[in-house]
Amino acid sequence: QQQVKQSPQSLIVQKGGISIINCAYENTAFDYFPWYQQFPGKGPALLIAIRPDVSEKKEGRFTISFNKSAKQFSLHIMDSQPGDSATYFCAASKGGNTGKLIFGQGTTLQVKP
Amino acid sequence: DAEITQSPRHKITETGRQVTLACHQTWNHNNMFWYRQDLGHGLRLIHYSYGVQDTNKGEVSDGYSVSRSNTEDLPLTLESAASSQTSVYFCASSPDAYTGELFFGEGSRLTVL
């Protein structure tokens, strides 16, 4: 019930392509869904977040798609660049709490030039 | 610039020893968190605090303790280190529990032999 399942574990995309990472959850009480980006040797940093009152949120090349009925959300990276190569974590929380997060297992993205 | 710093960045210790990881933030954030990161598990919440003298257990709190005597610091103590506590530990802070972004430090890599 508390888990957030993330896939794929790793992803290789050509420069200019679309990267898609998926997450699924069980707990219907979750109401805040952020994505964090982490570069090697650094701490995670917030990339984009969504609340369930909208089905999509876009910031630049990054888009979250949210499907409340399926209890799934995904991150789309358009026009992927080598600088996007990092580990991406989805997360979820209850009560809109932005700090008490349940994280997915992480996806390592490599964008080939 | 305001920041969040962790020390030490790397530590090797022996089973049974007490270890303290320091976390210091200069943003004056009320909310502070400790997470551990392990392959295949993403990040998991250990302890968190919403203000001075406030501490709460997270998802994986057994064997860990924290104290909050001022706004800036939330040290994490492993009372008797175990090999299962070998991990990368991240401290984070946020200005508001429900709207604020979570800011992470750069992590402390702990090896328990």
Is 80 exceeded by the pLDDT of residue B62?
Answer: yes
Give the residue on B whose Cα is nearest the Cα of A94. B98
Of B43, B59, B94, the CB nearest to A98: B94
Chain A residues close to B101, C-beta within 8 Å: 46, 98
Residue A78's nearest CA partner among A25, A36, A37, A20 is: A20
Of B43, B99, B104, the CB nearest to A45: B104
A49's CB contacts (< 8 A; 6+ apart) are A32, A33, A34, A35, A57, A64, A98
> Mean pLDDT across chain A, nearest whole number?
95
Please state the rounded mean pLDDT for residues B77-104.
93
Q: What is the pLDDT of residue B96?
A: 83
Contact (CB, 8 A) for A77 and A84 = yes
A18 backbone φψ class: left, alpha, beta (φ>0; ψ -120 to 50) = beta
Q: Is A99 within 8 Å of B31 when comparing Cβ atoms?
A: yes
Please state the rounded mean pLDDT for residues A80-98.
93
Measured distance CA(B68)–CA(B80) in Å, rounded: 20
Terminal CA-to-CA distance of chain A, rounded, Å? 40
Structure tokens belonging to residue A34: 């952020």
Please state the rounded mean pLDDT for residues B49-78.
97
Please state the rounded mean pLDDT for residues A53-73.
95
How sure is the predictor about B1, in pLDDT bands with cuts at 50, 70 and 90?
A: low
Contact (CB, 8 A) for A19 and A76 = yes
Q: What is the pLDDT of residue A98?
A: 84
Q: What is the pLDDT of residue B97?
A: 79
**Any idea which residue has 């954030």 for tokens?**
B29
Chain B residues close to A101, C-beta within 8 Å: 43, 45, 102
Give the residue on A whose Cα is nearest the Cα of B96. A98
Please state the rounded mean pLDDT for residues B63-72.
97
Measured distance CA(A81)–CA(A75) in Å, rounded: 15
How sure is the predictor about B100, in pLDDT bands with cuts at 50, 70 and 90?
A: confident
